[in-house]
Structure 1
Amino acid sequence: MTATEARPTPSGAPEMPSVPSSLYRRILRRETHSSRSGAAIVVLVLLALVAGYVGVEAVYAALGLPALLFSPVDVLASLLSAATGQAGLVIAVGIVTALAGLLLVVLGITSARRGRHTIDDPRVAVVVDDQVIAAALSRSARMAAGLAPGQVSTWVSRRDARVTITPASGVRVDVESVLAAARDELEAGGYQPAVTPDVRLTSSGRLGA
């Protein structure tokens, strides 16, 4: 969990810094989102390799040498013949190409989300890792059902949390009480975006739990 630091006052009580809310919003977005520079680098490298290969094949064709894999001239001739004789195939290829281009544009414009949530507080900018939320939910579920640490596992996504319980064989677990405890835990945290919990029991119990 990260937060902006508070300045101590002469009396010893921490005084919260006066920071514009716009700065908080920028900090929170930076901490909860990441750039897609890695994906952009991969795409650019692939395009560079394709362009380099086409250039090599073009040089081979100009020198009258056999193609390494295919000749760009033959590929162009095939595309032209397909455009005149197989309009359906050309339309399908065009649609697929357009969708791929649209996907690349969306990836370039949007940013990737990190596994973190924020807490709505006007005084400080607080970011909580999803693993911390999952650990808190697992602890609440164990306490509500009287379970051992290895009997509960939790994962948290942007708006959902799944609590999976492996009860001891022959022992009944009150799912509703566990779900209520998970909801109380999430409401107390006040995470943004809001997380909706779900509790599941495994089909087989655990011996010696």
Structure 2
Amino acid sequence: MTDAVLRTVVRRETHSPRTVAMIVVAVLLLLVLAYAAVEIVLNLVGQPALLVAPGEALNAVVAAPTALLPVAFIVGGIVLALVGVLVLVLALKPGRLSRHEMAWGERAVVVDNGVVASAVAQHLSNESGIARDDIVVGVAHRSVDVTVRPPVGIPVDEAELRRLVEEEVTSYKLSPAVRTHLRVQRPDTKESR
């Protein structure tokens, strides 16, 4: 595979499409158009309107500049602008899946954040002797949060645990890079950092 193809595949696997947002906007527009079509058809066949007859709606739009206060136009404009900005952000900003790219030799591998979390927790358990059930790891887009809850009476060297976590995470060569945070929670104390 060429580098360009590989980059495209990795991007597709780590970013979510905006299909849901696009479908919601399209459905809303279709509902508005369907409502307008129903009102027009009802008007053409001489039936009463569901909400507002098309002629009355057109007259209300034409009379709006003189009938409404300028504040109403400003508020309406701000609301429409906010909706427009929201739709624009959804369209342009890439969504993120809970995955990272991991360098594996000369290849790139897409790995789920849950797999990274499980591997870090297992490695820390193996190296420190703390039970796997007493280690909780969460992996986000830019950080790895490790919480260790050793039983009462078990001595814990936080610096050594921090070094183990940082070395393990660094060895994965994740992209985008992540920061590591370690907390040791003891049952007899609230929390130490």
Query: Alignment partner for residue 195 of structure 1, among 159, 172, 178?
Result: 178
Closer, same or farther: CA 71–129 of 1 in aligned 2, 3 Å: same
**CA shift at 1:122, angstroms?**
7.0
Tell me the residue number matched to 1:46: 28
TM-score (ref. length: structure 2): 0.77
Task: Please tell me whether the aligned partners of residues 119 and 192 of structure 1 are also in contact (alpha carbons under 8 angstroms).
Answer: yes
- Report the Cα distance in structure 2 between the residues aligned to 1:138 and 1:79, rounded to whole angstroms: 66
Tell me the residue number matched to 2:70: 87
Deviations 1:147-193 (A, max 9, x none): 22222222211111122333334655444332222111111111111
1:99 has 2:115 as partner: no
User: Where in structure 1 are there 5+ consecutive unaligned residues?
Assistant: 1-18
Tell me the residue number matched to 1:9: none
The residue type equivalent to 2:160 in the other structure is S
The residue type equivalent to 2:91 in the other structure is G
Secondary structure of 2:107's partner? coil
Tell me the residue number matched to 2:191: none
Q: Number of residues paired by the alignment? A: 187
Tell me the residue number matched to 1:35: 17
**CA shift at 1:84, angstroms?**
5.2
- Report the Cα distance in structure 2 between the residues aligned to 1:88 and 1:190, rounded to whole angstroms: 55
Tell me the residue number matched to 1:111: 94
Tell me the residue number matched to 1:24: 6
Closer, same or farther: CA 54–201 of 1 in aligned 2, 3 Å: farther
Closer, same or farther: CA 49–170 of 1 in aligned 2, 3 Å: farther
Structure 1 residues 1-209: aligned runs within 5 Å: 19-61=1-43, 65-70=47-52, 73-74=56-57, 77=60, 80-81=63-64, 85-120=68-103, 123-169=106-152, 171=154, 173-202=156-185, 204=187
Task: Please tell me whether the aligned partners of residues 144 and 177 of structure 1 are also in contact (alpha carbons under 8 angstroms).
Answer: no
- Report the Cα distance in structure 2 between the residues aligned to 1:97 and 1:203, rounded to whole angstroms: 52
What root-mean-square deviation, in Å, do the aligned CA atoms of Structure 1 and Structure 2 show? 3.1
- Report the Cα distance in structure 1 between the residues aligned to 2:101 and 2:72, rounded to whole angstroms: 48
